[in-house]
Amino acid sequence: MSASIRNLDDLLAEGVSGRRVLVRADLNVPLDKQTGEITDDGRIRAVLPTLGALVQAGAKVVVCSHLGRPKGAPDPQYSLRPVAGRLGELIDAPVHFATDTVGESARATVDALTDGQVALLENLRFNKGETSKDDTERGAFADQLAAFGEAYVDDAFGAVHRKHASVHDVPARLPHVAGRLVLREVEVLSRLTGEPERPYVVVLGGSKVSDKLAVIEALLPKVDRLLIGGGMCFTFLKAQGHEVGTSLLEEEMVETCGNLLSRAEGKILLPVDVVAADAFAPDAAHDTVPADGIPSHRLGLDIGPETVAGFTAALSQAKTVFWNGPMGVFEMPAFANGTRGVAEAITKTDAFTVVGGGDSAAAVRALGLDESSFGHISTGGGASLEYLEGKTLPGIAALEN
């Protein structure tokens, strides 16, 4: 990380006992649609090193985060209350929950904190100012948030690519440092943008090429191999002249994918077989078919075993691996083998391996894979991709000033 950025140790060295420290975390965890329960608490656990250090040092810790994409007003389905409960279990101490973000409840909750206690404010995005494009509106909200801290810690790596009040404008108002998670994420990802050990193999999946276009462009000159699976592989297969049945297809991206393939000098590896199903359903009839033989009435929902074998061979040579995006609809067991196979291949290399993205990280845990067999599992999806694209990230830039 840039030498001009101070980190948590610098703040701790100044002494934080009795001081209010505002921590921006990314506690945007997936919730079960029916029960509202947290289905993966990885992002909560990821911020524990920072929170634990501040608690130990006797700070009054005020945590804030977004969850989901509410539209600037309170919306109970996006409340952080369940997160406060889970955080309390993990730190083994009560987490004082404020039912608003900068209102009466928040003020009372923050005022009542004693040394070493933790408060969590309600969802930042219940306030229009958080995500506003208007600097004045964002600034006014940032003023209210900043009033809760004497220092600011950014540990929300998953949100550093957002120019939001809590990420971009609060650090302009308070002494600011990077938390342990942000520091580690940036250290790891900078190994990939610097001089990665070769072969450097990147695996990309997920549904849309349009989302990944910028990162593919940025990575192509850097990587030795780019393996493409997931929903977005069908637009590439189409660009190769294959029929893809009713598979996910971005018609307007076919030409772009064709250009990428011709510029890639053979670095891009596409599926040679896919699991094609009658419908997007867990119990749909399905078969493995060659990638150039998808029946017109079927859609591809996973990469096939021959593809997994080819990807595994490429990965086994690698010295550096970055993986973002599932290879198929891994939430349905019939279409999880591609993602599982690639994930297992990654764990078996002796490469430095990085998993980027909320979905891929959740896939690793949902498939019961051992997290410790990966070099690093990033908490950021969009953030890690934009970092690899070489973009300026508003949250990191704000810490530099």
Q: What does the binding site for ligand 3PG look like in residue numbers (CB under 6 A)?
A: 26, 28, 69, 158-159, 162, 358, 381-382
Is 151 or 167 the residue whose CB approaches Mg ion more closely?
Answer: 167
Q: Is 280 left (phi over 0), alpha (psi -120 to 50) or beta?
A: beta
Min dist CB 209 to ligand 3PG, Å, is 18
Per-residue contact flags (x/-) with Mg ion for residues 190 to 209, judged by CB under 5 A: --------------------
Q: Classify 265 as helix, strand or coil.
A: coil
**212 belongs to the catalytic site:** no
Helix (H) or strand (E) holding 203: strand 200-204
**72 belongs to the catalytic site:** no
Min dist CB 319 to ligand 3PG, Å, is 28
**Pairwise CA distance, residues 28 & 25, whole Å:** 9
Is 213 or 272 the residue whose CB approaches Mg ion more closely?
Answer: 213
**Pairwise CA distance, residues 183 & 350, whole Å:** 24
- Active-site annotation holder among 43, 60, 180, 340: 43
Q: Phi/psi of residue 59, each to 5°? A: -75, 160
Is 156 or 249 the residue whose CB approaches ligand 3PG more closely?
Answer: 156
- Active-site annotation holder among 149, 245, 358, 380: 358
**391 belongs to the catalytic site:** no
Contacted entry of ligand 3PG, Mg ion, none for residue 348, CB cut-off 5 to 8 Å set by kind: none
Question: 92: which 2 tokens?
Answer: 């083994």
Is 129 or 381 the residue whose CB approaches Mg ion more closely?
Answer: 381
Q: Can residue 382 be called a binding residue for Mg ion (CB under 5 A)?
A: yes
Is 70 or 341 the residue whose CB approaches ligand 3PG more closely?
Answer: 70
Min dist CB 371 to ligand 3PG, Å, is 18
Neighbours of 37 (CB within 10 A): 10
Q: Can residue 175 be called a binding residue for Mg ion (CB under 5 A)?
A: no
**Pairwise CA distance, residues 4 & 400, whole Å:** 6
Site for Mg ion in 322-381 (CB under 5 A): 381
Q: Which of 77, 318, 90, 59 is nearest to 197 (CA)?
A: 318
Is 166 or 247 the residue whose CB approaches ligand 3PG more closely?
Answer: 166
Nearest residue to ligand 3PG, by Cβ distance, number only = 28
Alpha helices in 63-196 (DSSP H): 81-91, 104-112, 128-131, 135-146, 180-193
Min dist CB 125 to ligand 3PG, Å, is 8
**Pairwise CA distance, residues 98 & 120, whole Å:** 6
Burial of 197 (0-12, 13-18, 19+ CB in 10 A): exposed
**43 belongs to the catalytic site:** yes
Min dist CB 240 to ligand 3PG, Å, is 31
Min dist CB 357 to ligand 3PG, Å, is 8
Helix (H) or strand (E) holding 290: strand 286-290
Contacted entry of Mg ion, ligand 3PG, none for residue 162, CB cut-off 5 to 8 Å set by kind: ligand 3PG
Burial of 68 (0-12, 13-18, 19+ CB in 10 A): middle
Active site residues: 43, 208, 358, 382
Q: Under the rule (CB under 5 A), what is the footprint of Mg ion?
A: 381-382
